[in-house]
Amino acid sequence: MPAARPKKARAGAKIPRPIIISVAQNKGGTAKTTTTLNLGAALAARGKKVLLIDLDPQGNLTSGTGIDLAALNGSMYQVFTDRNVTLSDITQDRIGLTVAPAHISMVTLEMDLVNRNGREWILKRKLEALDGEFDFVLVDCPPSLGLTVTNALAASHYVLLPVQTQAYALYGVPQLMEMMNVIKEDLNPDLTVLGVLLTFTNRTRLSREVEEEIKNYFKDEVFPTSIRQNVKIAEAPLSGQSILTYAPEAAVDYISLAEEVEKRVNAKFK
Protein backbone atom coordinates (compact mmCIF):
# COMPACT_ATOMS: atom_id res chain seq x y z
CA MET A 1 0.00 0.00 0.00
CA PRO A 2 1.54 3.35 -1.01
CA ALA A 3 2.30 5.84 1.72
CA ALA A 4 0.01 8.81 2.19
CA ARG A 5 1.62 12.06 1.19
CA PRO A 6 2.34 14.32 4.16
CA LYS A 7 0.46 17.57 4.08
CA LYS A 8 2.61 20.46 2.89
CA ALA A 9 2.83 23.28 5.39
CA ARG A 10 1.59 26.59 4.07
CA ALA A 11 4.14 29.34 3.58
CA GLY A 12 4.90 31.09 6.81
CA ALA A 13 3.18 28.42 8.91
CA LYS A 14 4.03 28.54 12.58
CA ILE A 15 6.35 25.80 13.81
CA PRO A 16 4.40 23.60 16.26
CA ARG A 17 5.64 23.46 19.81
CA PRO A 18 6.92 21.00 20.72
CA ILE A 19 8.42 19.31 17.69
CA ILE A 20 8.11 15.60 18.43
CA ILE A 21 10.79 13.31 17.02
CA SER A 22 10.85 9.55 17.45
CA VAL A 23 14.31 8.01 17.30
CA ALA A 24 13.43 4.61 15.93
CA GLN A 25 15.03 1.55 14.37
CA ASN A 26 13.81 -2.03 14.30
CA LYS A 27 17.39 -3.25 14.76
CA GLY A 28 19.17 -3.11 18.11
CA GLY A 29 22.62 -1.60 18.60
CA THR A 30 22.19 1.31 16.20
CA ALA A 31 22.75 4.04 18.85
CA LYS A 32 19.10 5.08 19.25
CA THR A 33 19.53 5.80 22.96
CA THR A 34 22.89 7.50 22.54
CA THR A 35 21.45 9.63 19.75
CA THR A 36 18.41 10.61 21.82
CA LEU A 37 20.54 11.61 24.81
CA ASN A 38 23.24 13.53 22.99
CA LEU A 39 21.01 15.19 20.41
CA GLY A 40 18.78 16.31 23.27
CA ALA A 41 21.76 17.74 25.13
CA ALA A 42 23.00 19.50 22.00
CA LEU A 43 19.58 21.06 21.38
CA ALA A 44 19.46 22.17 25.02
CA ALA A 45 22.88 23.77 24.57
CA ARG A 46 21.32 25.77 21.72
CA GLY A 47 18.78 27.18 24.17
CA LYS A 48 15.94 24.74 23.53
CA LYS A 49 13.74 23.18 26.20
CA VAL A 50 13.91 19.45 25.63
CA LEU A 51 11.91 16.51 26.96
CA LEU A 52 13.36 13.02 26.56
CA ILE A 53 10.91 10.10 26.70
CA ASP A 54 12.25 6.62 27.37
CA LEU A 55 10.02 3.89 25.94
CA ASP A 56 12.49 1.03 26.23
CA PRO A 57 11.87 -1.26 29.25
CA GLN A 58 15.65 -1.60 29.66
CA GLY A 59 15.74 2.05 30.73
CA ASN A 60 19.16 2.79 29.27
CA LEU A 61 18.22 6.38 28.44
CA THR A 62 16.86 6.81 31.96
CA SER A 63 20.00 5.53 33.65
CA GLY A 64 22.17 7.37 31.13
CA THR A 65 20.86 10.66 32.51
CA GLY A 66 21.78 9.67 36.07
CA ILE A 67 18.35 8.48 37.23
CA ASP A 68 18.36 5.53 39.63
CA LEU A 69 16.04 2.93 38.10
CA ALA A 70 15.64 1.17 41.44
CA ALA A 71 14.36 4.35 43.11
CA LEU A 72 11.68 5.32 40.58
CA ASN A 73 8.32 6.34 42.01
CA GLY A 74 6.70 6.59 38.60
CA SER A 75 7.53 5.92 34.98
CA MET A 76 6.09 5.78 31.49
CA TYR A 77 4.30 2.61 32.57
CA GLN A 78 1.97 4.67 34.77
CA VAL A 79 1.56 7.28 32.01
CA PHE A 80 0.27 4.57 29.67
CA THR A 81 -1.84 2.60 32.13
CA ASP A 82 -3.31 5.24 34.47
CA ARG A 83 -5.58 7.84 32.85
CA ASN A 84 -4.94 10.24 35.72
CA VAL A 85 -1.13 10.21 35.51
CA THR A 86 0.39 12.92 33.34
CA LEU A 87 3.87 13.21 31.90
CA SER A 88 4.57 16.03 34.32
CA ASP A 89 3.78 13.69 37.22
CA ILE A 90 6.71 11.38 36.44
CA THR A 91 9.35 13.56 34.77
CA GLN A 92 12.67 14.45 36.37
CA ASP A 93 15.07 17.27 35.50
CA ARG A 94 18.56 15.98 34.81
CA ILE A 95 21.67 17.35 33.06
CA GLY A 96 19.76 20.29 31.58
CA LEU A 97 17.00 18.05 30.22
CA THR A 98 13.60 16.85 31.37
CA VAL A 99 13.36 13.05 31.38
CA ALA A 100 10.31 10.79 31.37
CA PRO A 101 11.82 7.54 32.65
CA ALA A 102 11.16 3.96 31.62
CA HIS A 103 10.85 0.93 33.89
CA ILE A 104 11.14 -2.81 33.41
CA SER A 105 7.39 -3.10 34.10
CA MET A 106 6.86 -1.81 30.55
CA VAL A 107 7.59 -5.30 29.20
CA THR A 108 3.96 -6.18 30.01
CA LEU A 109 2.50 -2.99 28.56
CA GLU A 110 0.94 -4.47 25.43
CA MET A 111 -0.76 -7.19 27.45
CA ASP A 112 -1.98 -4.67 30.03
CA LEU A 113 -3.52 -2.44 27.36
CA VAL A 114 -4.94 -5.11 25.05
CA ASN A 115 -8.55 -4.19 25.87
CA ARG A 116 -8.03 -0.42 26.13
CA ASN A 117 -9.93 1.61 23.53
CA GLY A 118 -7.76 4.13 21.71
CA ARG A 119 -4.56 2.57 23.01
CA GLU A 120 -2.64 3.81 19.94
CA TRP A 121 -3.32 7.44 20.93
CA ILE A 122 -2.32 7.38 24.59
CA LEU A 123 1.06 9.09 24.18
CA LYS A 124 -0.33 11.67 21.76
CA ARG A 125 -3.02 12.70 24.25
CA LYS A 126 -0.55 12.90 27.13
CA LEU A 127 1.80 15.04 25.03
CA GLU A 128 -1.01 17.40 24.05
CA ALA A 129 -1.53 18.13 27.74
CA LEU A 130 1.97 19.66 27.95
CA ASP A 131 0.59 22.76 26.19
CA GLY A 132 3.76 24.06 24.55
CA GLU A 133 6.02 23.61 27.57
CA PHE A 134 8.91 22.25 25.45
CA ASP A 135 10.54 23.07 22.12
CA PHE A 136 11.51 19.48 21.33
CA VAL A 137 10.38 16.06 22.52
CA LEU A 138 12.72 13.19 21.64
CA VAL A 139 11.30 9.69 22.02
CA ASP A 140 13.71 6.79 22.46
CA CYS A 141 11.92 3.79 20.93
CA PRO A 142 12.67 0.14 21.70
CA PRO A 143 13.91 -2.07 18.84
CA SER A 144 10.47 -3.46 18.07
CA LEU A 145 7.32 -2.74 16.09
CA GLY A 146 4.91 -3.04 19.01
CA LEU A 147 2.40 -0.82 20.76
CA THR A 148 4.87 1.62 22.31
CA VAL A 149 6.47 2.33 18.92
CA THR A 150 3.00 2.68 17.38
CA ASN A 151 2.19 5.26 20.06
CA ALA A 152 5.44 7.11 19.40
CA LEU A 153 4.91 7.28 15.63
CA ALA A 154 1.25 8.24 15.99
CA ALA A 155 2.30 11.19 18.18
CA SER A 156 5.36 12.35 16.23
CA HIS A 157 6.01 14.90 13.53
CA TYR A 158 9.20 13.13 12.49
CA VAL A 159 11.23 9.94 12.68
CA LEU A 160 14.99 10.10 13.00
CA LEU A 161 16.51 6.83 11.82
CA PRO A 162 19.99 5.89 13.10
CA VAL A 163 21.78 3.37 10.88
CA GLN A 164 25.15 1.97 11.86
CA THR A 165 27.88 1.62 9.20
CA GLN A 166 28.44 -2.03 9.98
CA ALA A 167 27.44 -5.36 8.47
CA TYR A 168 23.67 -5.87 8.03
CA ALA A 169 23.16 -2.11 8.45
CA LEU A 170 19.82 -2.09 6.65
CA TYR A 171 18.45 -5.12 8.47
CA GLY A 172 15.00 -4.28 9.79
CA VAL A 173 14.74 -0.95 7.95
CA PRO A 174 12.16 -2.12 5.36
CA GLN A 175 9.89 -3.36 8.15
CA LEU A 176 10.08 -0.01 9.96
CA MET A 177 9.38 1.90 6.74
CA GLU A 178 6.38 -0.35 6.07
CA MET A 179 5.13 0.33 9.59
CA MET A 180 5.54 4.08 9.00
CA ASN A 181 3.43 3.79 5.87
CA VAL A 182 0.67 2.06 7.82
CA ILE A 183 0.84 4.69 10.58
CA LYS A 184 0.60 7.47 7.97
CA GLU A 185 -2.41 5.82 6.35
CA ASP A 186 -4.31 5.04 9.55
CA LEU A 187 -3.11 7.28 12.39
CA ASN A 188 -0.80 10.14 11.45
CA PRO A 189 -0.76 11.39 7.83
CA ASP A 190 1.85 14.06 8.64
CA LEU A 191 4.52 11.63 9.84
CA THR A 192 7.72 11.91 7.85
CA VAL A 193 11.39 10.95 8.02
CA LEU A 194 13.42 13.84 9.38
CA GLY A 195 16.66 12.19 8.39
CA VAL A 196 18.88 9.14 8.44
CA LEU A 197 21.85 9.37 10.78
CA LEU A 198 24.98 7.35 10.08
CA THR A 199 26.49 6.05 13.32
CA PHE A 200 29.70 4.23 14.28
CA THR A 201 31.45 5.60 11.22
CA ASN A 202 35.20 5.02 10.96
CA ARG A 203 37.96 4.77 8.37
CA THR A 204 37.65 1.06 7.68
CA ARG A 205 36.79 -0.20 4.21
CA LEU A 206 33.62 -1.87 5.50
CA SER A 207 32.37 1.35 7.08
CA ARG A 208 32.97 3.31 3.88
CA GLU A 209 31.24 0.69 1.74
CA VAL A 210 28.22 0.49 4.02
CA GLU A 211 28.03 4.29 4.17
CA GLU A 212 27.86 4.39 0.39
CA GLU A 213 25.15 1.70 0.39
CA ILE A 214 23.04 3.67 2.88
CA LYS A 215 23.41 6.90 0.90
CA ASN A 216 22.36 5.11 -2.28
CA TYR A 217 19.29 3.73 -0.48
CA PHE A 218 18.15 6.90 1.31
CA LYS A 219 19.57 9.61 -0.99
CA ASP A 220 19.08 13.14 0.40
CA GLU A 221 17.45 11.88 3.60
CA VAL A 222 20.91 11.10 5.00
CA PHE A 223 22.19 13.84 7.31
CA PRO A 224 25.48 15.43 6.14
CA THR A 225 26.78 14.90 9.68
CA SER A 226 27.64 11.38 10.76
CA ILE A 227 28.57 10.20 14.25
CA ARG A 228 32.14 9.01 14.28
CA GLN A 229 33.07 6.06 16.45
CA ASN A 230 34.54 7.24 19.74
CA VAL A 231 34.89 5.35 23.01
CA LYS A 232 34.06 8.52 24.96
CA ILE A 233 30.54 8.47 23.52
CA ALA A 234 30.00 4.99 24.93
CA GLU A 235 31.48 5.95 28.30
CA ALA A 236 29.42 9.09 28.90
CA PRO A 237 26.08 7.43 29.84
CA LEU A 238 27.85 5.22 32.37
CA SER A 239 28.58 8.39 34.34
CA GLY A 240 25.07 9.77 33.89
CA GLN A 241 26.21 12.47 31.48
CA SER A 242 25.86 13.47 27.86
CA ILE A 243 28.94 13.65 25.69
CA LEU A 244 28.73 17.46 25.83
CA THR A 245 29.74 17.49 29.48
CA TYR A 246 31.66 14.22 29.71
CA ALA A 247 34.03 14.88 26.82
CA PRO A 248 33.22 18.17 25.04
CA GLU A 249 35.97 17.60 22.50
CA ALA A 250 34.08 14.50 21.27
CA ALA A 251 30.71 16.30 21.03
CA VAL A 252 31.27 18.11 17.74
CA ASP A 253 29.23 15.65 15.67
CA TYR A 254 26.17 15.98 17.90
CA ILE A 255 26.46 19.75 17.94
CA SER A 256 26.45 19.73 14.12
CA LEU A 257 23.55 17.28 14.09
CA ALA A 258 21.45 19.55 16.33
CA GLU A 259 22.03 22.43 13.93
CA GLU A 260 20.96 20.26 10.96
CA VAL A 261 17.86 19.05 12.80
CA GLU A 262 16.77 22.63 13.45
CA LYS A 263 17.43 23.60 9.83
CA ARG A 264 15.32 20.73 8.50
CA VAL A 265 12.47 21.52 10.88
CA ASN A 266 12.57 25.22 10.04
CA ALA A 267 12.71 24.51 6.29
CA LYS A 268 9.43 22.62 6.42
CA PHE A 269 7.58 25.62 7.83
CA LYS A 270 8.99 28.39 5.65
* pLDDT above 70 (res 5): no
User: Has residue 5 been placed in a domain?
Assistant: no
Q: Domain total for the chain?
A: 1
In a domain, 14, yes or no: no
**Residue 184 to residues 3, 47, 126, 150, 264: CA-CA distances in angstroms?**
7, 31, 20, 11, 20
Q: Kindly state whether residue 134 falls inside one of the protein's structural domains.
A: yes
Distance CA 53, CA 151 (A): 12
How far apart, in whole angstroms, are the C-alpha atoms of residue 126 and residue 18? 13
Average the pLDDT over 113-123 and give the result.
94
Given a cut of 80, whether residue 10 has pLDDT beyond it is: no
Q: Is 6 domain-assigned?
A: no
Q: Is 8 a domain residue?
A: no
Exposed, middle or buried: residue 1 (CB in 10 Å: 0-12, 13-18, 19+)?
exposed
Give a yes or no: residue 261 inside a domain: yes
Per the prediction, the chain carries an average pLDDT of 91
pLDDT at 43: 98
Q: Is residue 161 part of a domain?
A: yes
Q: What percent of the chain has pLDDT over 70?
A: 94
- The pLDDT tens digits of the residues spanning 29-77 come to 889 999 999 999 999 999 999 999 999 999 999 999 999 999 999 999 9
Residue 3's pLDDT is 39
Query: Residues 168-183: pLDDT tens digits?
Result: 777 778 888 899 999 9
Q: Is residue 158 part of a domain?
A: yes
- This prediction has a pTM of 0.92
Banded model confidence at residue 2, pLDDT cuts 50, 70, 90: very low
Q: In which band, very low, low, confident or very high, does the pLDDT at 206 lie, cut at 50, 70 and 90?
A: confident
- The CATH code of the domain that includes 227 is 3.40.50.300
User: Could you tell me the residue range of the domain that residue 109 belongs to?
Assistant: 19-268
Contact between 126 and 84 under an 8 Å Cβ cutoff? The reply is: no
Cα–Cα dist 17/128, whole Å: 10
Mean pLDDT of 152-159: 97
| 147: pLDDT strictly greater than 70 | yes
- pLDDT (average), residues 3-26: 71
**Residues 186, 190: Cα–Cα separation, whole Å:** 11
pLDDT score of 12:
56
